[in-house]
């Protein structure tokens, strides 16, 4: 399996890909270019919305809108008009922080993290009401749920660790945090992740030129090499959820490094022999 570039996005920091099964399209963000991108897979049609400031992640919502996690607030993006309507503010007392990666759980609650100086980041859950679920993080990043829904995964990239928590689906509570994958001492950093239908994790390796697949015990079993230094997040999509889409970044690279990884910032895809898990929509948007 060899990932190939399918959209010449030239994103500074492509992130947060989400497959929308109703529209049969992929949404993703370019954090530092303040854009939300859309790719209609069948036709190859592309579109983007300028959202005015940093956008770390997004969630699918019923109707013609998306929920965005921007620098210090959640906001609605109207897909018809392009208007951005703030919903609520957070961490305005921490100007160095910003919202980062996010995803909806199978029950339709939006989980997203913040990043900042050492230990200043947090993890939040939004289901019509905002609750802080974890503190002491630095870059709250790749998150996901096991295929049986009983385990929640969360990455803290600078610490080069992916944590696992027991997840109570009914209440949306977390407990028993432990280190699930420990990559300390590596020359790369774990970034975004997704989970396939077999319960394996696919993790983007920032500065690692690859996406690594780990088994349900956290053992590396397969690696997808990419021609770019900074893959940021994978997700499954397509009508059968058997295409892996991978966002990438060019931010922070020298001119020489960009020449060596010419497609830095582009969107990649690869056909897989396994299927992913479906993305979920926000169920209580008010």
Q: How high is the mean pLDDT in each 10-residue block of the chain (286 residues)?
A: 93 98 97 98 95 98 96 98 97 97 98 97 97 98 97 98 98 98 98 98 98 98 97 98 98 91 96 97 81
**What is the pLDDT at residue 259?**
87
CATH number of the domain located at residue range(s) 4-282 in this protein: 2.120.10.30
Q: 4 is written with which tokens?
A: 């190939």
Q: How far is CA 236 from CA 59, 96, 251, in A?
A: 15, 32, 24
**What is the pLDDT at residue 258?**
86
Q: How far is CA 265 from CA 4, 12, 17, 233, 262, in A?
A: 13, 6, 13, 12, 9
**What is the pLDDT at residue 19?**
98
Is 191 known to be catalytic? Answer: yes
Go through the chain and tell me how many residues it has: 286
Residue tagged active-site, from 101, 127, 191, 266: 191
**What is the pLDDT at residue 32?**
97
Residues 6+ apart with CB under 8 A from 62: 281, 285
Which residue in 207, 215, 201 sits closest to 189, CA to CA? 207
| H helix or E strand, kind and range, residue 130 | strand 130-137
Domain segments of the chain as ranges: 4-282
Sign, CA dihedral 78-82-85-90, equals positive
Bridge partners (DSSP) listed for residue 202: 194, 213
**What is the pLDDT at residue 281?**
97
Are 279 and 10 a contacting pair, CB within 8 Å? no
Whole-angstrom Cα distance, residue 119 to residue 131?
18
């Amino acid at each position: 399996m060899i990932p190939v570039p399918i959209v010449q996005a030239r994103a500074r920091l492509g992130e947060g890909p989400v497959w929308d099964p109703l529209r049969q399209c992929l949404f993703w963000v370019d954090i530092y270019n303040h854009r939300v991108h859309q790719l209609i897979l069948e036709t190859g049609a592309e579109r983007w919305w300028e959202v005015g400031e940093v956008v770390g992640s997004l969630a699918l919502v019923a109707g013609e809108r998306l929920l965005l996690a921007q620098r210090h607030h959640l906001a609605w993006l109207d897909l018809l008009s392009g208007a951005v309507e703030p919903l609520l503010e957070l961490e305005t007392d921490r100007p160095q922080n910003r919202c980062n990666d996010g995803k909806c759980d199978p029950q339709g609650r939006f989980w997203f993290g913040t990043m900042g100086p050492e230990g200043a980041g947090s993890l939040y859950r939004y289901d019509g009401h905002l609750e802080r679920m974890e503190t002491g993080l630095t870059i709250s990043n790749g998150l996901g749920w096991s295929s049986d829904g009983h385990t929640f995964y969360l990455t803290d990239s600078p610490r080069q660790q992916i944590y696992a928590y027991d997840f109570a689906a009914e209440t949306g509570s977390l407990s028993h945090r432990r280190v699930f994958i420990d990559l300390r001492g590596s020359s790369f950093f774990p970034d975004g992740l997704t989970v396939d239908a077999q319960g394996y994790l696919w993790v983007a390796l920032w500065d690692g030129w690859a996406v690594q697949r780990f088994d349900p015990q956290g053992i590396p079993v397969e690696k997808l090499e990419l021609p770019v230094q900074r893959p940021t997040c994978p997700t499954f999509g397509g009508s059968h959820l058997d295409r892996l889409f991978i966002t990438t970044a060019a931010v922070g690279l020298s001119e020489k490094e960009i020449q060596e990884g010419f497609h830095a910032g582009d969107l990649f895809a690869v056909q897989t022999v396994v299927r992913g898990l479906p993305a979920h929509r926000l169920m209580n948007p008010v």
